[in-house]
């Protein structure tokens, strides 16, 4: 399991990623990874997650960028002290890669900022042997 953590303007983003063998087909060059994200507002101002921007890099250096509104169909509003957690997945055509990105946030007073998602590794457990 790989983890990462970053704090931007009071928003802590913690990620845990793991290989999902039940949805992977290595013989077809398809590896599937699950990642669980916990977003915690450690600041003093309510903030809403508006959109996401992921940068996914596979073992060959191929980069794919994914942008979209919210996460898992939601745009959570986090008051100070609140957290939001979700799990999603990422297919790769190689047995390992990395993900990083940002969540676009807006505070209750209309200030916008990007909360960092620190890089984390996607790795099939036997790929690094």
Bridge partner list, 123: 96
CATH number where 73 lies:
2.60.40.1470
Q: Which pLDDT does position 1 carry in this prediction?
A: 85
Each residue of 1-21: pLDDT tens digit? 899 999 999 999 999 999 999
In a domain, residue 67? The reply is yes
In a domain, 129, yes or no: no
Would you say residue 128 lies in a domain? Answer: no
Alpha carbons 11 and 70: distance in angstroms, whole number:
15
Question: In the predicted model, is pLDDT for residue 72 greater than 50?
Answer: yes
Full residue range of the structural domain in which residue 55 is found: 2-123
Is there a domain that residue 44 lies in?
yes
Residue 129: pLDDT above 50? no
The answer to whether residue 16 sits within a structural domain is: yes
Split into its structural domains, the chain has a count of: 1
CA-CA distance, 70 to 73, in Å (whole number)? 6
Question: Which tens digit of pLDDT belongs to each residue from 16-70?
Answer: 999 999 999 999 999 999 999 999 999 999 999 999 999 999 999 999 999 999 9
Q: What is the pLDDT of residue 84?
A: 98
CA torsion through residues 53, 47, 116, 40, sign:
negative
């Amino acid at each position: 399991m790989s983890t990462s953590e970053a704090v931007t303007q009071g928003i802590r983003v913690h990620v845990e990623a793991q290989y999902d063998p039940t949805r992977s087909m290595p013989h077809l060059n398809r590896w599937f990874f699950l990642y669980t994200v916990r977003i915690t507002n450690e600041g003093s101002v309510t903030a809403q997650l508006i959109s996401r921007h992921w940068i996914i890099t596979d073992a060959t250096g191929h980069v794919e960028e994914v942008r979209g509104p919210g996460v898992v169909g939601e745009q959570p509003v986090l008051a100070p002290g609140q957290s939001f957690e979700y799990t999603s997945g990422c297919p790769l055509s190689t047995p390992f890669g990395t993900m990083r990105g940002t969540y676009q946030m807006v505070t209750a007073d209309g200030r916008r900022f990007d909360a960092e998602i620190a890089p984390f590794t996607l790795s099939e457990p036997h790929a690094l042997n």
